[in-house]
Structure 1
Amino acid sequence: MSGTGEQPQRPLGIDELLERVRAEYERVEPREAFEAARDGQALLVDIRYAALRARDGLIPGALVVERNELEWRLDPQGSHRAPEATGHDLRAVVICNEGYASSLAAASLHRLGLHRATDLVGGFQAWKAAGLPVSSSP
């Protein structure tokens, strides 16, 4: 014990953590993400790893950023930012395979000040199941 009389904080499980971070922003459904990107109102950001992109294909027009580079590439103040990282007002829709890792990634972007960052409910698999455009991997 630290002698302060405080009880140690109970560790969160991943399900509770997901619930908490998802409560901080509004997630988007595939059709809404498609329309927002088509209308220039959102940047789709695919964080799936290369093997999944090769297996399942790509979302046309999506910025592909490996998850371990996401914060560096989307931080508008960062020296390694992508040209699309134009400001903290950017509405980035993060897409992983099934919509779990993308929630944690969107929460991380919020901590960087990207207050409009969100993620895709169901991830790439929901996008594909909705019949939205997918191109073969290069």
Structure 2
Amino acid sequence: MSEHPTTGERPVGIDELLERVRRDLDRVTPEEARDTAAAGGLLVDIRYAALRERDGLIPGALVVERNELEWRLDPQGSHRAAEAVGHDLRVVVVCNEGYASSLAAVSLRQLGLRHATDLVGGFQAWKAAGLPVAAGPPVTAGPPAAG
């Protein structure tokens, strides 16, 4: 592979990128995610609507579309969700199988959410572990918190 003409860096593929970003994440199992939520942490479901409708929802998880995640969870942002209470919030990002959530968690860490991580295996691992799954309309991020 050739180097980037401006930065001189070698491009990486997605597998290498995932390996790199996961080194800094304390990724959690479904049971650890459940315990984090029980202790006041926030589970954030970034799966797209068709997957949520097909497979169900984690009860109590906040649904935030991936393209809105940073805006909704930045505690200093003018478009933040009411649940985005501070940089110390424990956040577990959940995607379908645990890939996109790793990249999303790193993005949240770059915003200062130092305890952001993701669920190993995603929603499918949660469901396979026999943890609660609900059908019905999701709990989505409401209007931005007053700033």
* 1:66 match: 65
Amino acid at match of 1:15: D
Identity, % of aligned positions = 77
In 1, the alpha carbon distance for the partners of 2:87 and 2:73 equals 9
Q: Aligned pairs, how many? A: 132
Change (3 A) 1:105 1:7: closer
The yes-or-no answer on 1:80 pairing with 2:108 is: no
In 1, the alpha carbon distance for the partners of 2:25 and 2:7 equals 30
Change (3 A) 1:7 1:103: closer
- Structure 1 stretches of 5 or more lacking a match? 1-5
Equivalent residue runs for 1:86-125 within 5 Å: 86-125=85-124
SS at match of 2:44: strand
Contact 1:43 1:62 in 2 (8 A): yes
The yes-or-no answer on 1:29 pairing with 2:29 is: yes
Contact 1:56 1:137 in 2 (8 A): no
In 2, the alpha carbon distance for the partners of 1:10 and 1:115 equals 28
Deviation at 1:8, TM superposition (A): 2.6
Change (3 A) 1:7 1:119: closer
- Structure 2 stretches of 5 or more lacking a match? 1-5, 138-147
Amino acid at match of 2:22: R
SS at match of 1:45: strand
SS at match of 1:44: strand
TM-score for both structures, normalised by structure 2: 0.87
In 2, the alpha carbon distance for the partners of 1:116 and 1:61 equals 19
Deviation at 1:7, TM superposition (A): 8.4
Amino acid at match of 1:119: D
Calculate the aligned-residue CA RMSD, in Å. Answer: 1.3
Amino acid at match of 1:32: E
Task: Please give the per-residue CA displacement for 1:42-90, whole angstroms capped at 9, x wherever unaligned.
Answer: 1000000000000000000000000000000000000010001000001
